[in-house]
Amino acid sequence: MADNRRRKRPTTATGRLFRLTGMTTSIATRVAGHQVKGLFQSDQSKAADREKLLQYIGKEVAATLGEMKGAVMKVGQIASQMQDILPAEISDQLKILQNASAPMPFHVIRRQLERELGAPLDELFARFEDQPFAAASIGQVHHALTPAGDEVVVKVQYPAVKESIDSDMKHLRRILRLGSLLKVDETALNAVFREIRSQLHEELDYLQEASNLEHFQAFHQQQPWLVIPQVFPALSSEKVLTLSYETGIPLDQVDDEHGFDQATRNLLGERLFDAIGQQIFQLRAVHCDPHPGNFAFRPDGSIVIYDFGAVKRLPPQDADLLKRLVRAAMNKEWATLDTMLMELGARKKDTQVSSDFYAVWIELLLRAFDDEPYDFGHSQLHTDIMRQVKRTPLEQILKFQPSSRSLLVERVISGHYWTMMKLGVNTAFRPNLEKAINIAGD
């Protein structure tokens, strides 16, 4: 059904509501039919039908959200990375949303720009390219030239995105709860959605992003190899952000042909790892959108970081808890690790987890952080983890749940695993990990 229905993108609040309500009704009807049918099926047939149901829901949600802009698509993109919340059949379908954004018509963008900056476009910029070079869920980016001759990029937020957040999230949450599809309890789910909502509100405030850029520039000022764009305040507002144009090679072109030998790629991997570690444990604020489009690389070993709208600020107690948790894992102190996971909210209380369970999983999760070089370019760690998930009894898996306190940090770590793979990094990260958790002292 979803595959055959290619409809015009909704551009009004009423249109969005109609589209989301229609999707919810369609899914609810399919879930109800599945439940009735299950009364007359064997366990094997019921399991096979449930898999088909989940695949249908995943396709339906991905197809509908892919036609929309704004908060609902952004939440869908985040949800695609939540394998510990969603069944794989759904999260796999949602992954297409990461590259599903089509640009808005330029007349909409022009009107937004002129309304936000208070002047005609021709007075604001000496040149402004109609076609965006990047389009995302909540805005798009254009090349431009200032009257003073500075090459800049201009990020313009789509109209009415901020106003749609609460309604969009309400509908998406209802969809994900249909038929008890989620694998976490109500308290944990509420905390996760509060975290996502808070992050979205911050990401939609471009003045806050400008402040983030300046904050990170000051922190990394002794690391000239980390390039962070400069803000043009006179050409920026809550919904428009103008930044210096910083060039770099996209991740998928970082190879020998473009001047990146193995030593340079290793250096880039270590520098990226060290920067993220410093942000988590020292700055206690981390750039938390690891999408490849937010990073570029230079053959001299420099890393360009774009888009500081998604920044997770860590309370001192959370940064300290994460540091102690990593230490316990590295030292194989399973009882301490278990206690800390419960404190973090990532492990359900009133259950027992064996040391053998932790020994297997920590070996997997720390495999890439050994004293010996790890070849990310040929890594099979992700497939080994999925095999272990299938081997592990469901009742053991259900003793764990996502924690709102670490959700976005985990997104950073898992996202940059794929960055390291695409870079083809082959180096020993144990010294870097030890330096990261000792960076702020005890």
**Cα separation of 184 and 399, whole Å?**
10
Same domain for 184 and 314, yes or no, is: no
Q: With contact defined as beta carbons under 8 Å apart, do 54 and 32 qualify?
A: no
Same domain for 271 and 170, yes or no, is: no
Does the active-site annotation cover 375? no
Our count of domains for the chain comes to: 2
**Cα separation of 78 and 150, whole Å?**
34
Residue 300 within any structural domain of the chain: yes
236 phi and psi angles, rounded to 5 deg: -130, 155
- pLDDT at position 199: 79
| This prediction's pTM | 0.78
Same domain for 270 and 401, yes or no, is: yes
Residue 167 within any structural domain of the chain: yes
- Tell me how far the alpha carbon of residue 378 is from its chain's centroid: 23
**Cα separation of 229 and 305, whole Å?**
8
At residue 407 the predicted structure's pLDDT band, cuts being 50, 70 and 90, is confident
Q: With contact defined as beta carbons under 8 Å apart, do 436 and 281 qualify?
A: yes
Q: Which two tokens stand for residue 160?
A: 């009415």
Residue 110 within any structural domain of the chain: no
Residue 336 within any structural domain of the chain: yes
Q: With contact defined as beta carbons under 8 Å apart, do 173 and 389 qualify?
A: no
Q: With contact defined as beta carbons under 8 Å apart, do 338 and 347 qualify?
A: yes
Q: Which helix (H) or strand (E) holds 157?
A: strand 151-157
Q: Per-residue pLDDT averaged across 132-159, rounded? A: 91
Task: Look up residue 224 and give its DSSP letter.
Answer: T
Q: Per-residue pLDDT averaged across 296-308, rounded? A: 96
**CA distance to 5, 98, 101, 139, per residue, from 70 (Å):** 20, 13, 10, 8
pLDDT digits (tens, 9 = 90+) for 350-380: 889 999 999 999 999 999 999 999 999 999 9
pLDDT digits (tens, 9 = 90+) for 269-280: 999 999 999 999
pLDDT digits (tens, 9 = 90+) for 175-187: 666 544 555 566 7
Residue 113 within any structural domain of the chain: no
Same domain for 256 and 398, yes or no, is: yes
User: Which range (93-107, 135-149, 349-363) has the least confidence?
Assistant: 93-107
Instruction: Give yes or no for residue 3 having a pLDDT over 50.
Output: no
Task: Look up residue 253 and give its DSSP letter.
Answer: G
Q: Per-residue pLDDT averaged across 80-102, rounded? A: 59
**CA distance to 222, 257, 377, per residue, from 266 (Å):** 21, 16, 11
Same domain for 347 and 427, yes or no, is: yes
- pLDDT at position 74: 62
Residue 396 within any structural domain of the chain: yes
Same domain for 322 and 196, yes or no, is: no
**346: domain range?**
251-442
**Cα separation of 126 and 150, whole Å?**
10
Given 203, 235, 261, which residue is the final one in a domain? 203
Given 170, 203, 236, which residue is the final one in a domain? 203
Residue 375 within any structural domain of the chain: yes
> Which position among 289, 307, 318, 338 bears the catalytic label?
289
**Cα separation of 106 and 130, whole Å?**
6
Residue 127 within any structural domain of the chain: no
Q: Which two tokens stand for residue 414?
A: 């898992």
